[in-house]
Amino acid sequence: MKQEVLSEAAWQRIVEFAADKATPCLVLDLQTVRDKYRELIEAFPFAGVYYAVKANPDAAIIRCLQELGAHFDIASVFELRKLLELGIATDRMSYGNTIKKSADIAFAFEQGVSLFASDCESDIRKLAKFAPGSRVYIRVLTEGSETADWPLSRKFGCQADMAIELILLARELGLVPYGISFHVGSQQRDIGTWDAAIAKVRFIFDRLAEADIHLEMINMGGGMPANYANRHHDIAAYGAAIRRFLDEDFGNHELQVLIEPGRSLVAEAGVLVSEVIQVSRKSQDSLDRWVYLDVGLFGGMIEAIGEAIQYPMVCDRQEGELDEVVIAGPTCDSMDILYEDHRYSLPLDLQEGDRLYWLTTGAYTTSYSSIEFNGFPPLQSYVVDEG
Ligand SMILES: Cc1ncc(COP(=O)(O)O)c(C=O)c1O
């Protein structure tokens, strides 16, 4: 079987490992995570890496990234607890969710977390009360929704003027105004979106310097790409362009730069192995062949919703004539259709039990899969490593 995402050795490891495993399952290759981490830090030698745990919270991935020196972006106290159980120090964590219960802020603070994202007055007041003296950074809104395959704007972040007011309030309430963050949208195909976002951050820094607040940090979030069916630049091109944008706006400035990669670090390490349950047509002369799999939107492939993310796919039945198909999941929900517009081609003699390997599925699959929808269990996940 031919694929163009993984190294041949990693692909062989995964296929051999999966051979006797029940499907659907995700197989993660740790060596690929190490390779992606190395590529990322080569492309971004000027940035501290905070892995966005939400992308894949598998303990083996977290341990592997910890050994490589990564820090961690956490979204909840549940992720915090998980990292604590794995022995990760709280000074390696940033609480990046702008939506937090008071009790959760207090718990994180008690545990030693002292770096928090925020984007509104009520959250700043909660932070001042339940995490006094902590460092805060304000998330700003950015452009880029149209060119991100999984946009993240609108719900999070505030306008530049409000960011300035919040930093002033944070100082007044005894917090440490630390920096500004943004996220240009996940799987962001337009590198230029970082240019505009960085310029906005520089504007905020300058305005605050007038009030004698000298911010130290820019957190550029995630958005770096993984290898899906759509074209994109490689990670080195992202690093080079973003460095140029930073130099243009902050060349003369002491600056701590953070990134919070999720997808770009772990997506390519995962292969979701699925099986065909059924192949049918709606009438004898229908052009459309429907292929129903044992995995669908609710079993881990939710990012295929609206066909936002199009995963590369390999079928284990290689020979024979191919034809385009509609691909759907196994649940009794009519929304559970994976691909109808984006046409994958599969052999005409495809039948029950044939395996489809979905590549680049290491991010946002297990963490999204439902726990019991239609009785199906959460997506089973395994880890393989070299040697
Ligand atoms: C605050 C924050 N940081 C980082 C990420 C990771 O983004 P990506 O997977 O595009 O690298 C996310 C994704 O939702 C996020 O919400």
Of residues 230 and 40, more confidence is placed in: 40
> What residues contact 333, with CB distance under 8 A and at least 6 apart?
297, 298, 373, 374
Residue 387 has pLDDT above 90, yes or no: no
Atom of ligand 1 nearest to the CA of 55: 9
Hey, where are the domains in the chain? Answer: 57-261, 268-384
The pLDDT assigned to 1 comes to 80
* Residue 177 Cβ contacting ligand 1 at under 6 Å: no
Average pLDDT over residues 228-252: 94
Task: For the full predicted model, state whether its pTM sits above 0.85.
Answer: yes
Average pLDDT over residues 342-370: 97
* Residue 96 Cβ contacting ligand 1 at under 6 Å: yes
Atom of ligand 1 nearest to the CA of 187: 10
- Residue 249 structure tokens: 């706006």
Q: How many residues does the chain have?
A: 387
Give SS3 for 15: helix
> For atom 5 of ligand 1, which residue has the closest CA?
222
Class of domain 268-384: mainly beta
Residue 74 has pLDDT above 70, yes or no: yes
For the chain, the first-to-last Cα distance in angstroms comes to 22
Measured between alpha carbons, how far is 208 from 137 in angstroms, rounded to an integer? 13
The pLDDT assigned to 28 comes to 98
Give the distance (Å) from ligand 1 centre to CA of residue 189: 15
Q: Which CATH number fits domain 57-261: 2.40.10.120, 3.30.70.141, 3.40.1360.10, 3.20.20.10?
A: 3.20.20.10
Residue 145 has pLDDT above 90, yes or no: no
Q: How confident is the model at residue 366 (pLDDT cuts 50, 70, 90)?
A: very high
> For atom 2 of ligand 1, which residue has the closest CA?
221
Task: Judge whether 57-261 and 268-384 match in fold.
Answer: no
* Residue 185 Cβ contacting ligand 1 at under 6 Å: no
Beta bridge partners of 218: 180, 257
* Residue 157 Cβ contacting ligand 1 at under 6 Å: no
Give the distance (Å) from ligand 1 centre to CA of residue 99: 14
Residue 322 has pLDDT above 90, yes or no: yes
Is residue 167 within 8 A of residue 138, CB to CB? The reply is: yes
Residue 60 has pLDDT above 90, yes or no: yes
> For atom 1 of ligand 1, which residue has the closest CA?
96
Give the rounded percent of residues in the chain with a pLDDT score beyond 90: 94
CA 46 to chain centre: 21
Exposed, middle or buried: residue 375 (CB in 10 Å: 0-12, 13-18, 19+)? exposed
CA 171 to chain centre: 32
Helix (H) or strand (E) run with residue 250 in it: helix 235-250
The pLDDT assigned to 154 comes to 87
Give the distance (Å) from ligand 1 centre to CA of residue 288: 37
The 10s digit of each residue's pLDDT in 10-52 is 999 999 999 999 999 999 999 999 999 999 999 999 999 999 9
